[in-house]
Chain A
Amino acid sequence: MVRIGQRLIQVGIICIGISFVSFVLLHLTGDPVTVMLPLDAPEQEIAQFRHKMGFDRPIVVQFLAYLKNAVRGDFGNSLFLERPAVSLVLERFPASLILISTGLSIALIIAIPLGILSAFKSHSFIDNFSTSFAVMGQAMPLFWFAIMMMIIFCIQLRWLPVSGYGTWKHLILPSFCMGIWQSPPTMRLIRSGMLDILSQDYIRTARAKGLSEGKVVVKHAFKNALIPVVNLVGLQFGFLVGGAVVTETVFSWPGVASLLLNAIRTYDFPVVQAALFLLALLIISVNLIVDVIVALIDPRIRDR
């Protein structure tokens, strides 16, 4: 309970921090009004707009007001589409979540067997193979990999649509790219986690009892190796969102990240702030959920 309480305080701090960052962002431009209005706007309109948006108040007051609205989910209307920024962002959430979750699943499907095998048979062919795969994967820029996949599978072979959203065919390539990109770090962590567990006493005991290697791996080692994997999913979630930004841009996938990018380009600040805030909230909640799951499956934490 104490742990969860501590975590909640941390969440609060992080939320305020992120809103502070996105608030400061707007003011980094010097005068936000000049960015939001057309260059030839008349003096009077500028003054009116400034008053309407509250930019004429002291900066501390502005931040507090902003924070109050942010907590209520009110970031104001998008500057271009006369609609609440929050609903614009929320509309895009499902697409991003689909991409991230399929990407993550593919990464786990690749990384778990490779990680376990390479830990078990360290310095074997499979270990060398997966280590080189990890080294190469880490050096590969995701956006370039996505472009190359597009050229091969969409342009040359014509198996898949180039971009768009809707059917499972559209999902294959983006999620595959995310998965391949995410699997090397995941695999490395599973491998080191497994190596760690395999040197523990209870594994030696299980082997000494005469259990088959398969049973040792599946029943004793893997169950315990799952804990770091779940933890990892939480830690890497922010990283995955970063990957989604790249993938969504290259494949014109209609998710939050591509909306955010467009908003950044057009200086649509309410949308930028809403998207940054909600993404941060998403990342934090995933982290919290992961913490709870780990607490449930790890008897060392559960029984404390």
Chain B
Amino acid sequence: MIKTEQLTKRYQNHLAVADLCLDVRAGEIYGFLGPNGAGKTTTIHMLLGLIRPTSGRLLVFGEEIGPGDFAFKQQIGVVAEEPAESSQMSGWELVRFFARLYGVERPGPRMEELFHELDLWEVRHGLARDYSRGMRQKLSLIRALVHRPRLLILDEPVSGLDPHGIRQVRAIIDAYQQSGGTVFISSHILSEIEHSANRIGILHGGRLLVEDTMEGLRGRLARQQRLTIEVEQVTPALVERIASQPYVVQVQQEGRQLALVLISQEDVRARLSRVISDAGGLILKMQGEEMSLEEAFVTITSQDALALAGHTGAP
């Protein structure tokens, strides 16, 4: 459905996206995950032809997208990160305007269905620019779905929504996928997409660190664990010695306590005890705890991410 080959975008001295190789398959929900500034929105803008890639190839619906191509967007629905409406149109008129741009001749019944589903029916004649952020987000989703696209691109689709709105949007996305649609969701919050995404790609610093199924990703991330060690005296040499261990991703010191993030499939506590003893440290307490998927994702994208990419064998 979407395929990118060595897609790169460079802005003078800043590399926004580097050698990105994505493969979004038909009928799946693909979660495009990464912290703010990772290059997600830049990638989406390149997919839509809003900015031109510096290099690389981009294929949508199996056809290469070149400069000036725009007809392919008839089969795509897009929800922007910050929905902006500035015209004098009501919510209803705005969606009808876009429906006409997409070539929908009688959009009324579909619009009615979507406005009801997202609780905007009562306010449909209000000015779209006066809607709250959450309402504008829902309106963007209606606009994106009115022409029954084959591919739905969502950039942070639930930002600004209350919990009820989040549930409504998730239900619509799930129903859309079940009807055969393909969804490409970009988010910086794993929990937003972990329930619905079939596969996930994690982007960091413009590079794709991991691309895997949700189960595969859970397996990779589950190798991470948090360990809290209390020692009699913490010295810089001890911290340095611990941090130099290959299975230690992160060390944080707080008084006599050391909070470690480890990545290993084995139990490394005995090895770590020896390292501390060899460095002259005396362990008072050692406590391990499992990391949530969210915590593990944050660790991946904030600490030593590229090293982890090498470790996991990601492209």
A binds B: no
A→B interface (CB under 8 Å)? none
B→A interface (CB under 8 Å)? none
